[in-house]
Amino acid sequence: MKRARYASIFIVEAILLASSLSTATLYNPIRDIDKVTQYFETSLSNSEDMIKEIELSKILGTPLFKGFSTIEKKSNIISEDIDNIFNSYIFDGGALDRILGLVTKELKSAKNSLYDTDSLDYAPTGLIIKFKQGGTNEKFVFHGIKEKISKLLPSTTDFSIEPVFKDNSLPLTNTFKIIFPESIEDPEKIITAFKNNPAIEYIEPDYVYMLTSTYPNDPYFSYQWALNQSNDHDIDAPEAWDYERGNGSITVAVIDTGVDYYHPDLSSNIWINTNETPGNGVDDDGNGYVDDVRGWNFVTNDNLPFDDSGHGTHCAGIIGAVGNNGIGVSGVCWNCSIMPVKCFIGVGTTGIGFASTIARGIVYAADNGADVISMSFGAYADYQLIKDAIEHAYNKGVVLVAAAGNDDTLLRMYPAAYPEVIAVAATNQTDGRAYFSNWGSWIDVAAPGDGIYSTASYTNYGYKDGTSMACAYASGLAALIKSQNDSLSNEAIRTLLRSGAESVSSNSYKYIGVGRINANDSLHMIADVVARLDDGLDDSIVSGNVTIFGTASGNNFSSYTVYYGSGIYPSSWNIISSSSSPVENGVLAIWNTLSLPDGTYTIKLSVAGDNSYSYTAFAVLTLNNYASKLHVGGSGAGNFSSIQEAIYNAGYGDTIYVHPGMYSESIVVDRSVTIVGEDRDSTIVTQSFSTSFPPLPTFYVSH
């Protein structure tokens, strides 16, 4: 039954996540099972790269298919598993044919995939375990742990334990991966047995992440609206190139499906490890990787990080395609170096990768000289292994940039939502939020991500959509800034990206950061100034006297002022406090809110530099001094057009009255509120991701 349960998750994801980019339709997994069945029947029968039925059964973990024509209708299992979707995976793009790629193409051969087994289901084949510092040794790992697992799983005897990282420095040295030859049916049994052990810091499955793309003489430059267009909803790249075009000493690591390093628009910008002698079979630089001349392939553990999918190459072209070379397209940073770090295997037009593989890639990039790491992938859960790798890179001064996700939700995507990372949403050609882009107060900036033309594998070019592309634009700008002044800290560069951003066309409550990045403005205000509000302010619910923490400092610091404004993009600002004394991770101001009405507010920190420029940081929060009543579909004050918008503006303990009508929307409830159908007979609230069929008209949610 356990194996069937994991298999059903595969189907539910295929149905629900399909709407993120390719269609506005969201299938009901029970009502529309026949539509999904028909889709799979047609797609499989027409596939040119068919796999055998027995292989398909092994991949799914249960014989869900009869031959290649019929899907068993396991709607009861599907209904049970909907609540697990957001603990699983996030697809960059989300079209059903991309999930079908899991079945029909890339994952047929375990030897050429990121999996260490001959079959695939969604029970993990590996567990990550990290020991507390002090007292852990090789003998303990390979004997004590192995013995206990053998007792827990007596039928599983052939497994191994290996270090996750080659780096021997703390805190990475005590992290290991337990590798099983086959998928284990009950990983929770092992996790439960070890999680309270005083010698263990954490134990978790090896989770899966998905990928979330001077006028030059390049002939396809006119296709690149994000760099330059007549209505100026671009990043002002030509103006910036008059000032800076990039430096080959600045390296951007692309954690992705690899990079086509033979591509004529990329080959001369590919990072070269000059401390390694090509082809001699020796680890010349002693970094633990033999002949890693142009990066590393962590999927197959070799020195060939070639992109056979196209996603990584597309992102690499946005960042650093050679500019003004008479061919193809231009990258944001014409001359920076691209370090290919392959952590994902291509699946259709996206990719899939394990947490352990990704963590290794991040650490490799940081340890081998990357100035910027571009991460166009994510998951909706906070996994400690990835967090450890992120902190390692951040502490080395690396600028970390990640995609916000493509599901039009305020759910936090990781690694983008980590405080060390610059989270990037996507805009369209009218400077509005791209309809698929995730949103929320945790996002730093936005960048173009809709209809983006760039390089593709095997010397090709093509269009892609997604926050993956937006992430690449922000990464390219970070490299351009670093090229102009390589002494700037990662926080100073974050400040410059946000401070140079232009306001976006936002007529909704869906916040996508301070604005769309502008390369020209950010470059011209380069200075050593840091403006940052404490991450605890973002999405917080406050009352009374609010202490505002943050940083206002830098060698070019002059003074700072803290403001508040009503809403997520205020039209006017009110001063809270100002000072000419720098602050480093301390108290910036005390905000007395008792005279203000409850609702959504934005805090703005403006730091004046000694160069006449101002550098900004923002935080969106909810003021909740009094229990309030909000309305959806009604009229007058306190009325909102959608349930999600009302929740976003509600405080703890507030009541939301939903007026007569039918509301079909995906909602995320992240605070304790009461949601009431104002008229029980005529108000129906349907939750797209609810396990209740049909949903109740009146319900109470506690968080």
Q: Are 154 and 186 in contact (CB under 8 A)?
A: no
CA 521 to chain CA centroid, Å, is: 26
Q: Residue 2 corresponds to which tokens in the numbers above?
A: 């356990």
CA distance 130 to 177: 9
Q: Residue 137 corresponds to which tokens in the numbers above?
A: 């040794």
Beta-carbon neighbour count of residue 181 at 10 Å? Answer: 14
Q: Residue 88 corresponds to which tokens in the numbers above?
A: 């699983």
Q: Are 279 and 291 in contact (CB under 8 A)?
A: yes
In 3D, which of 191, 351, 369 has the Cα closest to residue 276? Answer: 369
Beta-carbon neighbour count of residue 82 at 10 Å? Answer: 22
Place of tokens 């049909």: 694
Q: Are 628 and 587 in contact (CB under 8 A)?
A: no
Q: Residue 154 corresponds to which tokens in the numbers above?
A: 């007596």
Catalytic residue among 88, 441, 454, 468: 468
Catalytic residue among 236, 256, 265, 450: 256
CA 86 to chain CA centroid, Å, is: 13
Q: Are 529 and 611 in contact (CB under 8 A)?
A: no
Strand order in the sheet with 639-640: 639-640, 629-632, 655-658, 673-677, 699-701
Q: Residue type at 187?
A: P
Alpha helices in 90-204 (DSSP H): 96-104, 138-139, 146-152, 187-194
Catalytic residue among 263, 311, 314, 631: 311
* Share in percent of the chain as helix, strand, coil (round to 5): 25, 25, 50
CA distance 82 to 530: 43
CA 516 to chain CA centroid, Å, is: 18
- Give the pairing of strands 175-179 and 126-131: antiparallel
Strand segments (E) across 404-487: 421-427, 445-448, 452-456, 460-464
Reported as type and span, the H/E element at residue 497 is: helix 490-499
State the DSSP code for 539.
T
Beta-carbon contacts of residue 699 (< 8 Å; ≥ 6 apart): 675, 685
In 3D, which of 163, 40, 181 has the Cα closest to residue 124? Answer: 181
Residues written for the chain: 703
The CA-to-CA distance between both ends of the chain, in Å, stands at 31
φ, ψ (nearest 5 deg) of residue 601: -135, 155
CA distance 118 to 329: 41
Residue 388 annotated to the active site: no
Reported as type and span, the H/E element at residue 340 is: strand 337-342
Residue 522 annotated to the active site: no
Beta-carbon contacts of residue 131 (< 8 Å; ≥ 6 apart): 141, 174, 175, 176, 199, 200, 201
CA 300 to chain CA centroid, Å, is: 23
- Give the pairing of strands 126-131 and 200-205: antiparallel
Distances from the Cα of 544 to the Cα of 541, 594, 624, 649, angstroms: 11, 6, 9, 17
Residue 641 annotated to the active site: no
CA 320 to chain CA centroid, Å, is: 21
Reported as type and span, the H/E element at residue 627 is: none
- Ramachandran bin of 104, using left for φ above 0, alpha for ψ from -120 to 50, beta for the remaining angles: alpha
CA distance 111 to 554: 51
Active site (catalytic) residues: 256, 311, 468
